[in-house]
Amino acid sequence: MQAEMQQVMRTIRWLQGYAILASIALVVLFVRNGVEEEDVLRARGLIIEDEVGRERILIGAPVPEAANRVRTDDARVREVWAPRFPEAYMDYYQDYSHDTNGMLILSEDGFDRLVVGDPTPDPNIGRRIAPATGMVINDDQGFERSGYGVLAVNGGYNVGLGLDTDRIAEGLSLVLQDDGPHGILVGTPADGIFLGTAPAGHAWTGLEEEFSGLLARRDGEIVHQLNLAAGN
């Protein structure tokens, strides 16, 4: 667990550094284009192209449309993503949100690679439980591999950092929910290890009592439990 904690902290520092660099880059971009100190530049959107004219960086509120963006091209979605999922995938896909107010970086093939925004787009495998403000990092095929965000859920806030596996599933999560668990989850609540605290009756532990400690499950069954809140 110590190594996993160190990995989580390194990831958080990397995300913070990337956000700072992105902000500095935007400021430099505006200054280099002749914006004087007493002026205000107003725009609905900005598209940065690479040397061969491919749209690579989208900035806006919301970000402008891009002709080569896979997420907003149903024909390409049907070609590159739909074959991996059940037949009803395209029906569900019509309800996914692709917009963001912020900055989006595209690969040369048009896949979303990095998003910093409010809210961030839904993953291409399903809708989020609530709009998220934060950062999302995708692999070269547009599948989410890491994200850091804040979500308003049921009158409270969920703050989380997730690292996903190549099987499109949560691999490692650092979670803080106002009225729920605080801790680290390796795998899933039903098949993984949870280190942290959770209120009595929470689904992550399945325990009637308050939890504080280490809980390991395999195929939904508890195989190890150290609950300091219960004194065992």
Distance CA 121, CA 90 (A): 17
pLDDT range class, residue 23, cuts 50, 70, 90: low
pLDDT range class, residue 17, cuts 50, 70, 90: low
Distance CA 190, CA 221 (A): 7
Residue 10 has what pLDDT?
62
Distance CA 55, CA 72 (A): 14
Residue 161 has what pLDDT?
95
Residue 169 has what pLDDT?
75
CB 134 within 8 A of CB 148: yes
Q: 76-90 burial, b for 16+ CB within 10 Å, e for fewer?
A: bbeebbbeeeeeebe
C-alpha torsion sign, points 127, 128, 130, 135: negative
**Mean pLDDT over the full length of the chain:** 87
Residue 159, pLDDT > 60, answer yes
Mean pLDDT of 193-205: 93
| 3-state per-residue secondary structure call for 100-119 | CCEEEEECCCCCEEEEEECC
Query: Is the overall model pTM greater than 0.85, yes or no?
Result: no
Q: Which of 134, 173, 130 is nearest to 152 (CA)?
A: 130
Distance CA 154, CA 152 (A): 7
pLDDT range class, residue 11, cuts 50, 70, 90: low
Mean pLDDT of 119-136: 95
Residue 42 has what pLDDT?
83
CB 217 within 8 A of CB 190: yes
pLDDT digit string, tens, across residues 35-50:
555 678 788 899 999 9
Got the DSSP string for 74-107?
A: HHHHHHHTGGGS-TTHHHHHTT-----SEEEEE-
Distance CA 18, CA 16 (A): 5
